[in-house]
Every structure is written in structure tokens, then in C-alpha cells.
């Protein structure tokens, strides 16, 4: 009997040699070994200055957040832009990092923390720029670890740190610290597309620890129609503990015809999410390079055609996993 099951499973292993399996979020070892943020060891409350942004308004799509913190051991510096969390390194008391701005009012909060407490500065400015249709931000809470962001667009384009632009206008912002474009720890990696394609976007994270780092907490923020009345935003946290593992964190579906996009978290709370999409979108997804299925992974979601669509020859796709490229 055992040999029978081995013979059944062996072809799957051979067919999908690069398939990676995610560590379960509720895994006891993951929960115990989850990374924790460091604070400075100074015993005097830090003095913080914020040089940029200075307020007012701008026509630039990027904003530089820079300043100083009196405690050189306070690392990282915490930055919150419009509710999205970022980290940047304290470089001997100074910090500087550039981020995409949002259409309209932007609120920036910078914090410097040590044993004596937290000092923060809040500043606002207005960005007179177009709305961003899709913005994706991936960060982690551990220095020295890579959590690489991979975006698979509906037309099959793969946008990540090697391929930073796509034909549809997708743009990837590298994790730049000073003059380095390859600095591990914290992130963020950022993807944005002013006018996303109709169809399904898949968002993956690939975890590579450095040195003695064994675990981290990945944090994904997905925003659609940023700065508009119909803006959607979802924060997703996923513990990562297995070196080299690739995890699908979310799917974003753009339906067209002024319909609200949907942000889908696969297998949330142990249950497969269900999403109704049109036959047109399903066709595009099935014909793209992103549609590669295998029944051996149960951490993906079910796709159902909308009830108004003709279902002939388009039966439900149950628990189809995506091959990690």
C-alpha cells in the first residue's frame, strides 16, 4: 500500500522540482522564533530632526524622508507614510530614504526609539500627481534577512529585483540604502503600476536569511486606487522561517468596467478563499504563463465564475496551486 502511494506521488515530485511549500503561520516553531525589532541602547531620550519633507506641496511622485537621530544605536528608524510602515537604517546618526508619494495629502511620521523612550515627528504635504492604481510594499522586521518581492502580472510578466519594469508600466523600487542596491534587512521592496492590467496579479515573497538569522515576519501592504475615494488597502503579515521558501502572500484582481478590485489572501485562517471572476479574466489568466497548476499544495484559493457567466466548459478550479518560478 505504501509503495502504491509512493508511485503516485513520485511523478508530481519529478514534474515540479522547483515547487516550494510555505511554513504554516501557526507553526509553533515559527511563533517562538519570530524576529523582533531592535531599539537603541541609549538611556537618554533621542533627539530627532526631520529635514525632508518640509511640508507644502510637490509635483514629484517620489518623496525623500531624511533627518538625524542623536542615538546612533537606534536602528532602524521607523517611518510611517499614510499608514504604511517602513524601516530605514540609522547611518551613524543620519538617515535618508526615498519613497513613492500618494495623490493628495500625505502624512509622514518618523520615529527614533531607544531604552529611554520614543521621539517622533509628524509632517504633511500635498502631492499633485496621478493616482496609483496598484501599489505593493513588502518589508520585514529583521536586519540581515532578504524578503524578495516578486510580482506576476496578468500578461505573464515577472517583475522583481532583476526585472524592474514591465511593458504595462509596472515599476519595481529596489531596497536601496545609501549607494547600495543590495542591502539585506527591513526592506521595503515596492512595486507600483499607475494603470494595472485587467486580470489577476500574484504577489510572492522569497525568504533568504543571512548569517545566523533564522526567521522573520514579512509584512505586505497592498493598495489599489491610492488617493481616490474608492481606495482599498490591506495589510498582511506572514512569518517566514524556512530558508529559500517562496510564499504566495496575496492575489489582486482587477475586473474592469469600473468594478472595485479585490485583494485575496490565500488560505486565510485555514480556509480557502473564494473569488468570483468573469469568464474573460479567467481566460486571460489560464492563457498566461502564471497559470501552472498542481494539486499537491493546499495553500491557494478557489476561483469561481460569476453566477451570471456561462459556465459550460469553465468548471470551478479547485485548490489549484501556482508553480513558483
Q: Quickly state the pLDDT bin for 10 (edges 50, 70, 90).
A: very low
Number of domains in the chain: 1
Q: Look at 275 and 62; give whichever has higher pLDDT.
A: 62
Tell me the residue range of the domain where 60 lies: 37-129
> So what's the pLDDT on residue 173?
84
Structure confidence at residue 283 as a pLDDT band (50, 70, 90): low
**Domain assignment of residue 53, yes or no:** yes
Region 310-317 average pLDDT: 29
Answer whether residue 56 shows pLDDT above 90: yes
Residue 49 is assigned to a structural domain of this protein: yes
Does 7 sit behind a cis peptide bond, omega within 30 degrees of 0 on the bond before it?
Answer: no
| The pLDDT value given to residue 230 | 94
Does 298 reside within a domain? no
**Looking at the predicted structure, is the pLDDT value of residue 123 above 80?**
yes
Per the rule left: phi > 0, alpha: psi between -120 and 50, beta: everything else, 176 is beta
**What digits encode the pLDDT tens for the residues 72-112?**
999 889 999 998 888 888 889 999 988 889 999 999 999 99
Average the pLDDT over each of 171-175, 226-230, 265-269, 291-295 and give the range with the smallest value: 291-295
Q: Is the CA virtual torsion 282, 287, 290, 292 positive or negative?
A: positive
Average pLDDT of the residues of the chain: 74
Q: Once rounded to an integer, what is the mean pLDDT over residues 140-149?
A: 72
31 versus 101: the higher-pLDDT residue is 101
Q: Where are the beta strands (DSSP E) in the chain?
A: 48-52, 57-58, 62-69, 77-81, 84-88, 94-100, 104-114, 117-127, 132-140, 146-152, 158-159, 171-173, 189-193, 199-208, 216-226, 232-240, 246-254, 262-264, 274-277, 302-305
pLDDT of residue 306: 37
Is residue 111 in a domain?
yes
More confident of the two residues 273 and 120: 120
Q: What is the model's pLDDT at position 278?
A: 53
As a whole number of angstroms, the distance between CA 247 and CA 238 comes to 9
The model's pLDDT over 180-192, given as tens digits with 9 standing for 90+, comes to: 555 555 667 899 9
Supply the pLDDT for residue 219.
86
Residue 50 lies in a domain: yes
Does residue 313 belong to any structural domain of this protein?
A: no
Give the 3-state secondary structure of residue 175.
Answer: coil
pLDDT value at 68 more than 50: yes
Higher per-residue pLDDT: 177 or 152 = 152
| Position 270 in a domain | no
Residue 147 lies in a domain: no
Predicted pLDDT of residue 36: 52
The pTM score is 0.68
Question: Which of the four pLDDT bands, split at 50, 70 and 90, describes residue 128?
Answer: very high
Kindly report the CATH number assigned to the domain that includes residue 79.
Answer: 2.60.40.10
Arithmetic mean of pLDDT, 310-316? 29
pLDDT given for residue 83 in this prediction: 87
Report, as an integer, the average pLDDT of 204-233: 82
Amino acid at each position: 500500500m505504501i509503495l502504491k502511494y509512493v508511485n503516485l506521488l513520485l511523478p508530481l515530485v519529478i514534474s515540479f522540482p522547483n515547487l516550494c511549500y510555505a511554513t504554516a503561520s501557526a507553526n509553533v516553531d515559527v511563533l517562538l522564533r519570530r524576529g523582533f525589532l531592535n531599539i537603541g541602547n541609549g538611556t537618554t531620550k533621542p533627539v530627532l530632526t526631520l529635514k525632508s519633507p518640509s511640508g507644502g506641496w510637490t509635483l514629484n511622485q517620489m518623496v525623500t524622508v531624511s533627518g538625524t537621530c542623536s542615538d546612533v544605536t537606534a536602528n532602524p528608524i521607523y517611518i510611517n507614510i499614510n499608514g504604511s510602515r517602513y524601516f530605514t537604517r540609522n547611518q551613524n546618526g543620519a538617515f535618508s530614504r526615498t519613497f513613492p508619494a500618494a495623490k493628495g495629502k500625505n502624512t509622514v511620521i518618523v520615529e527614533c526609539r531607544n531604552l529611554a523612550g520614543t521621539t517622533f515627528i509628524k509632517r504633511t504635504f500635498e502631492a499633485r500627481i496621478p493616482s496609483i492604481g496598484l501599489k505593493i510594499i513588502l518589508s520585514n522586521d529583521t536586519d540581515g534577512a532578504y524578503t524578495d518581492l516578486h510580482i506576476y502580472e496578468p500578461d505573464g510578466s515577472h517583475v522583481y529585483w532583476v526585472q524592474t519594469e514591465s511593458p504595462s508600466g509596472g515599476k519595481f523600487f529596489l531596497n536601496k540604502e545609501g549607494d547600495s542596491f543590495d542591502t539585506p534587512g527591513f526592506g521595503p521592496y515596492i512595486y507600483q503600476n499607475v494603470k494595472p492590467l485587467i486580470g489577476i496579479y500574484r504577489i510572492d515573497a522569497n525568504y533568504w536569511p543571512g548569517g545566523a538569522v533564522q526567521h522573520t515576519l514579512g509584512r505586505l501592504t497592498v493598495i489599489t486606487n491610492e488617493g481616490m475615494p474608492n481606495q482599498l488597502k490591506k495589510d498582511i503579515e506572514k512569518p517566514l522561517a524556512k530558508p529559500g521558501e517562496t510564499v504566495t502572500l496575496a492575489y489582486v484582481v482587477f475586473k474592469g468596467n469600473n468594478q472595485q478590485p479585490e485583494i485575496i489572501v490565500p488560505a486565510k485562517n485555514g480556509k480557502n478563499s473564494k473569488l468570483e471572476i468573469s469568464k474573460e479574466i479567467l481566460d486571460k489568466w489560464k492563457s498566461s504563463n502564471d497559470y501552472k497548476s498542481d494539486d499537491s499544495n493546499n495553500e491557494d484559493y478557489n476561483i469561481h465564475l460569476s453566477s451570471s457567466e456561462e459556465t459550460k466548459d469553465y468548471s470551478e478550479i479547485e485548490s489549484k496551486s501556482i508553480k513558483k518560478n
